[in-house]
Structure 1
Amino acid sequence: MGAVPVRKMVVTGCSSGIGLAISLKLLAAGHQVVGLSRQPQRGAIDHPCFTPWPVDLAELDKLPQNLAELVSTHDDISGIVANAGTGRFGGLEEFSYPQIDQLLDLNLRSQIYLSRALLPTLRKQPHSDLLFIGSETALAGGRYGAVYSASKAAL
C-alpha cells in the first residue's frame, strides 16, 4: 500500500473544539488545511501547511464573494469538513425570529453555500470529499433543542 497523497482540505470552525482537533489531525497526517474561522487568531494553529481564512460564515450576504476569493486563491482544494456551528438551546417560543435565522444561517445555510461554491473545484480533483459534522441531537433532540436539532438534522 502506497503513501496517502497530500490533500488540501477546507475546515470550517477551525479555531476551537472539533474543528481545531480535525485540523490538527489533518496537519499531523501531512495534509494542507485552509481553516475558515471568524476568529483565526483563536486556536492559533502554527503550522507551515495551515492557512487561516478569516470569514464570518453567518454573514450570508458577504459569503459568496468571500468564497469566490477562496476558490480563486486555492484552486486545488480536494475536501471540505463543514464543522462550523453554534448551539443555542431553549423552548421554540423563547427564540426570536432573528435568532432562529442566525442559527440556521450558520449551522445550515453557510455550509450549503460553501459546498455550492467549492463543488466545481472538488470535481476537478481525482479524489474529493464533503464531510458534514452533525450532532446526535439531530436524531434525538429534546424539547429545548428544536432549532439546533433541526439545523443539524438538515445537514
Structure 2
Amino acid sequence: MDSKHVVITGAGSGLGASLALKYAEMDYHVTLLGRTFSKLRYVADKMSSDKVSVYTLDVSSHEEVAKVFKEITEDNGDIDVLVNNAGVGVFDDAENISPDSVDQMIDINLKGTIYCTQAVLPRMKERNEGTIIQVISTAGLDGKTSESVYCASKFGARGFTESIIKELDDTDIHVLAAYMGGMKTSFWDDIYSKEEIQHLMDPDDVADIILANVKARKNLTVPEIVIKNHLT
C-alpha cells in the first residue's frame, strides 16, 4: 500500500471521529473500530477519501482483538499508527459504583488499551517503525471526586504506557500519551448539562494538538502532552 495506515478505536464519535477525519485528509488509509457499526459508517461516509475500512470490535475481548487486528492487517496492510481511544466512564461515589460498572471501565479503558497495543507491537518491532497514541485523560494524572474507578483505570493505562515507552526506548517506535480534560462529546451527555458541555474543549482542537505532537521531528520526541480546559 502506498498510503500510511492508521487504526483508531472508539472511532464512532468525539475525538476518535475527529482524528479519523483529519488522518483521511492526510491521505492515510483509515480503519475505524468501535462497537456500533452505524456510528462508524456515519464517520466513514463523511470522509472525502475512499481509503477507509470499518470493523466492529469489543476491545475488552482479547480473543476478538487478536482476530480483528489479524483481519485488518491481512485486508489493509501493516498498521503504521494505532490510536487507543476507546473509553467509558461511570461516575458516582466509590461505594455506589456497581461491579458491572467496575468491570466495564477496567476492561475497556485498561485491558482494551493493553490488548490493542499488544496486537500491533510485534510487527512494529519487526519493522522498527510505528506510532501508538494512548488517549488517557487527565483522570490518569490526578484523583477526582466521583471518578475513583475511572481514575483507577486511567492510572493503569498511564502506568502501562510509561512502561512500554521505556521498553521501546531503543527503537524507532513513537508512543504518545495524551492527557486531556473533558471535550464536547456524547461521553458527557448524562453527566453534565448542555450548558456545562458548551464550556468543554472541542475535540477537533484536541485532535490538532495530538497530531502536531506525533509529527516526526529531528532530534526530539514527545512522550506525553497535557491538554486542559481553560476555565473562565
What TM-score, normalized by structure 2, do the two folds share?
0.60
After superposition, what is the alpha-carbon deviation per residue over 1:1-49, rounded to whole angstroms, capped at 9, x for unaligned?
Answer: xxxx831011000000000001011111111111111113215122401
8 Å CA contact 2:87–2:108 kept in 1: the answer is: yes
- Aligned-residue sequence identity (percent) comes to 28
Q: Deviations over 1:87-140 (max 9, x none)?
A: 111111111223211111111101111111111222244630111001112222
- Structure 1: which amino acid aligns with 2:87? G
Distance, in Å, in 1 between the alignment partners of 2:13 and 2:139 is 20
Residue 29 of structure 2 aligns with which residue?
Answer: 32
Q: Give 1:61 shift.
A: 5.0
The runs of 5 or more residues in structure 1 that have no matched partner are none
Q: CA deviation at 1:60?
A: 4.3
The number of residues matched between the two structures is: 151
- 1:115 is matched with 117
| Equivalent-residue separation in structure 1 for 2:62 and 2:129 (angstroms) | 28
Higher mean C-alpha displacement, 48-57 vs 122-131: 122-131
1:98 corresponds, among 100, 114, 137, to: 100
* Aligned residue type for 1:97: P
For residue 70 of structure 1, give the secondary structure of its aligned residue in structure 2. Answer: helix
CA–CA distance in structure 1, aligned partners of residues 76 and 120 of structure 2: 10
2:90–2:97 Cα contact (<8 Å) kept: no
What is the aligned partner in structure 1 of residue 39 from structure 2? Answer: 42
Letter in 2 for 1:24: L
**What letter corresponds to residue 153 of structure 1 in structure 2?**
F
Report the Cα distance in structure 2 between the residues aligned to 1:84 and 1:20, rounded to whole angstroms. 11
Select the structure of larger CA radius of gyration: 2
Q: Identify the structure with bigger relative contact order (alpha carbons < 8 Å, sequence gap 6+).
A: 1
Amino acid at match of 1:117: A
Please state whether the residue corresponding to 1:36 is helix, strand or coil: strand
User: Which residue in 2 is equivalent to 1:70?
Assistant: 72
For 2:128 and 2:76, locate their aligned partners in 1 and report how far apart those are by CA, in whole Å.
16
**Unpaired stretches in structure 2, ≥5 consecutive residues:** 158-232
TM (normalized to structure 1)? 0.86
The secondary structure found in structure 2 opposite 1:107 is helix
Q: Contact (CA 8 Å) 2:85, 2:135: kept in 1 or not?
A: yes
Which structure is higher in helix share? 2
Q: Distance between the aligned counterparts of 2:154 and 2:81, measured in 1?
A: 20
Q: Relative to 1, partners in 2 of residues 1:26 and 1:119: Cα closer, same or farther, differing over 3 Å?
A: same
Q: In the alignment, does 2:69 pair up with 1:79?
A: no
How far, CA to CA, are the matches of 2:68 and 2:35 in structure 1?
12
Residue of structure 2 aligned with 1:12, choices 9, 12, 20: 9
The structural deviation recorded for 1:76 is 1.3
Secondary structure of the corresponding residue to residue 37 of structure 2: coil
